[in-house]
């Protein structure tokens, strides 16, 4: 049986925040949809909280799968400043009911911050006690229902340079042909 790992990390969002939404940020919803689709294949489970532009996530599963996902996150343009807050070998997962649970920006999180003398959610400044309390809150907190998420537009593969040149030359040829034809009919 592979060694299980619980990895708790923080990162900052790079996408613009919609401060006027009462629901879930659309980029966070996309992350959740992807996580809930992909994590079961890797035997990964966990929970995510997003507040004040920061992600706080607890991932659990086979050590190699957790480490591989964390490394992929470094290349995800939606995250920056990734920092491991705790790396623990565990004998069992605590989030096993969720491929990825999303705890909404709830009053419980805000109350926890106030109890620890905080006015904002800044996981980079958490001591071990606050980190553990936040993980416990993720375990107890309700899982948010995701809104419908529009699919990201499919990007066409890049065009080979030779094709670009052929298209450009074809366009130039068409313009020259039109000019030649126009000159032919001029008095």
What is the extent of the structural domain holding 185?
157-187
Q: What SS3 state is found at 127?
A: coil
Q: Based on the domain organization, do 31 and 111 belong to the same domain?
A: yes
CATH number of the domain encompassing residue 112: 3.30.70.100
Residues 6+ apart with CB under 8 A from 139: 47, 94, 95
Helix orientation angle between 128-140 and 107-115, rounded to the nearest 10 degrees? 160
pTM as predicted: 0.73
User: Which residues face 58 on adjacent strands?
Assistant: 8, 47
What's the domain count of the chain?
Answer: 2
Taking CA atoms, 162 is separated from 75, 158, 175, in Å, by 30, 12, 20
| pLDDT, averaged in runs of 10, over the chain (187 residues) | 89 80 74 87 91 92 94 90 95 87 82 91 94 91 65 55 60 56 58
Do the domain assignments include residue 145? no
3-state secondary structure of 56: strand
């Amino acid at each position: 049986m592979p060694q299980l790992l619980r990895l708790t990390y923080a990162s900052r969002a790079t996408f613009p925040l919609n401060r006027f939404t009462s629901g879930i940020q659309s980029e966070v919803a996309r992350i959740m949809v992807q996580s809930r689709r992909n994590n079961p294949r890797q035997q990964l489970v966990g929970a995510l909280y997003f507040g004040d532009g920061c992600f706080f996530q607890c991932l659990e599963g086979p050590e190699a799968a957790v480490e591989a996902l964390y490394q992929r996150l470094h290349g995800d343009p939606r995250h920056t400043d990734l920092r491991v807050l705790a790396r623990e070998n565990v004998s069992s997962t605590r989030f096993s009911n969720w491929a990825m649970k999303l705890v909404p920006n709830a009053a419980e999180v805000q109350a926890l911050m106030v109890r620890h003398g905080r006015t904002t959610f800044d996981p980079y400044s958490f001591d071990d006690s606050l980190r553990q309390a936040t993980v416990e809150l993720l375990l107890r907190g309700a899982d948010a229902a995701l809104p419908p998420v529009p699919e990201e537009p499919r990007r066409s593969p890049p065009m080979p340079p030779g094709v670009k040149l052929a298209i450009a030359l074809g366009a130039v040829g068409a313009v020259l042909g039109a000019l030649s034809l126009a000159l032919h009919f001029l008095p």
